[in-house]
């Protein structure tokens, strides 16, 4: 089944998927930052509340978030949040976007959010439910019914005795 035969994902399911990803990233980064801060405070004289440390953490956070989205979209066409919501991002041929297009899509997401999330409004009106970021990168987000049905190989049956 091609991407053109699947229903396009709406704004609610996409927002829920993004919220799941944001929660996972935030919790993971908070735990990692806490552990790193504890280790630094035990073994070095570095003040972890210094402006340099804060700016470094913000820069690292940006790299982690960008890598998360771009790599998941490029490798599998879905983030963990999208997988839970049975969504997939693809190019016009139904394949995951290549690295450059995934990076462009991420930049488009940021630009779409700047003017009060106005770049996301086209999802409500576009026939393929594309936001500014999808239009820039040439992608669509489709409902992946095979994910929700679990169409992968079935687990082996264990005979009962």
What global pTM score does this model have?
0.83
In 3-state terms the chain splits into helix, strand, coil percentages (rounded to 5) of 60, 5, 35
Whether 96 is covered by a domain: the verdict is yes
6: three-class secondary structure by DSSP: coil
Q: How many domains does the chain have?
A: 1
Residues facing 88 on adjacent strands: 142
In this prediction, residues 21-41 reach a mean pLDDT of 91
Q: How far apart are CA 88 and CA 90, in angstroms?
A: 6
Tokens representing 91 are 């190019």
For residue 3, is it within any domain? no
Q: Quick one: average pLDDT of 85-89? A: 97
Residue-number span of the structural domain to which 89 is assigned: 11-147
42 versus 5: the higher-pLDDT residue is: 42
Domain annotation covers residue 152 = no
Assign 51 a pLDDT band (cuts: 50, 70, 90).
confident
């Amino acid at each position: 089944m091609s991407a053109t035969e699947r229903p396009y994902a709406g704004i609610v399911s996409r927002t829920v998927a993004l919220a799941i990803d944001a929660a996972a990233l935030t919790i993971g980064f908070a735990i990692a930052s806490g552990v790193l801060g504890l280790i630094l405070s035990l073994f070095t004289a570095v003040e972890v509340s210094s402006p340099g440390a804060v700016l470094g953490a913000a820069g690292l956070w940006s790299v982690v978030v960008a890598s998360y989205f771009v790599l998941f979209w490029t490798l599998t066409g879905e983030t963990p949040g999208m997988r839970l919501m049975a969504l997939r991002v693809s190019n016009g041929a139904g394949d995951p976007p290549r690295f450059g297009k995934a990076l462009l899509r991420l930049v488009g997401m940021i630009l779409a959010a700047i003017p009060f999330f106005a770049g996301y409004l086209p999802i409500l009106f576009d026939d393929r439910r594309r936001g500014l970021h999808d239009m820039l990168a040439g992608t669509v987000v489709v409902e992946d019914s095979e994910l929700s049905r679990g169409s992968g190989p079935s687990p082996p049956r264990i005979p009962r005795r």
